């Protein structure tokens, strides 16, 4: 198998107050995989995500992206490779129009003119919101804003797309439409989610993070069928849903 595009080894992280949120995380994701990161509240999922593009830096251990270890010298390059879409799209949308928001990242890389316009149109088309390019983001529905937030990241052409609770607060139609979009993207995906049916639908492989450690790694359906594992880590399928 090829070298992983995302490789964490023995990652530990303690917050200033002393709480150790990550306690030796080993994690690898290979090119083209769609992997779900599952776990109860307080497991360390958000802390882990913030390590993936160097918003947080490990107390010990290593984080590597496409063979490049995260260091002070590589942060800019790492952030171009790893695109993080946060749970609340309003954390990422702040410009007057959708086009302005999606242009912001590539423009900061120096793209101008036709090259910039092409990059923006490509990202908007990928998430099905090209017709909203000239709308103010705050006039859009929550589901539309989530798509635009994803487009702002895709415009940077990341190697890895990290999604934090992508299905949260979406109605059933928006949830289904987003799943179709994510299935169509030609990019490696790590999806942090409490939505276990979404994980089963979109990700062949899943990891369970609990107590700051990866406690399970395997085919998503197999993990969701493991009643003892699920119970031990406070993971529950919706009533009536079976895998």
Whether 214 contacts 27, CB under 8 Å: yes
Token pair, residue 135, equals 């709308």
Distance from the first to the final alpha carbon of the chain = 28
Token pair, residue 102, equals 């999606």
- pLDDT given at position 1: 53
Burial 73-103 (b: 16+ CB within 10 A, else e): eeeeebbbbbbbbbbebeebbeeeebbbbbb
Whether 205 contacts 36, CB under 8 Å: yes
Whether 224 contacts 237, CB under 8 Å: yes
In Å, the largest CA–CA distance within the chain is 56
Question: Is residue 193 exposed (0-12), middle (13-18) or buried (19+ Cβ within 10 Å)?
Answer: buried
User: How long is the chain?
Assistant: 243
- pLDDT given at position 242: 79
The SS3 assignment for 205 reads: strand
Token pair, residue 137, equals 């983001």
Whether 155 contacts 187, CB under 8 Å: no
* Gap between the Cα atoms of 88 and 225, Å rounded: 30
* Gap between the Cα atoms of 93 and 97, Å rounded: 9
Q: Residue ranges of the chain with pLDDT lower than 50?
A: none
Neighbours of 185 (CB within 10 A): 14
- pLDDT given at position 62: 95
* Gap between the Cα atoms of 160 and 1, Å rounded: 18
**Closest residue by Cα to residue 151 from 77, 62, 211, 85:** 85
Beta bridge partners of 218: 206
């Amino acid at each position: 198998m090829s070298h992983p595009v995302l490789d964490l080894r023995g990652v530990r992280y303690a917050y200033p107050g002393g709480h150790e949120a990550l306690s030796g995380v080993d994690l690898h994701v290979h090119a083209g995989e769609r992997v779900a990161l599952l776990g109860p509240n307080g497991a360390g999922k958000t802390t882990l995500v913030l390590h993936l593009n160097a918003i947080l830096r490990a107390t010990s251990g290593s984080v590597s992206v496409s063979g490049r270890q995260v260091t002070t010298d590589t942060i800019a390059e790492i952030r171009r490779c790893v695109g993080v879409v946060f749970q609340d799209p309003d954390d990422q949308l702040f410009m007057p129009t959708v086009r302005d928001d999606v242009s912001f990242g590539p423009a900061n890389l120096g793209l101008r003119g036709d090259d910039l316009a092409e990059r923006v149109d490509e990202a908007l088309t990928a998430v099905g919101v090209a017709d909203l390019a000239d709308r103010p983001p705050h006039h859009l529905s929550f589901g539309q804003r989530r798509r635009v937030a994803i487009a702002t990241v895709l415009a940077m052409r990341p190697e890895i797309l990290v999604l934090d609770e992508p299905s949260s607060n979406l109605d059933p139609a928006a949830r289904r439409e987003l799943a179709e979009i994510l299935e169509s993207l030609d990019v490696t995906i790590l999806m942090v989610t409490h939505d276990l049916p979404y994980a089963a639908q979109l990700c062949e492989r899943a990891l369970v993070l609990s107590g700051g450690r990866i406690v399970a790694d395997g085919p998503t359906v197999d993990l969701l069928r493991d009643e003892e594992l699920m119970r031990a880590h406070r993971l529950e399928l919706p009533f009536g849903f079976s895998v």
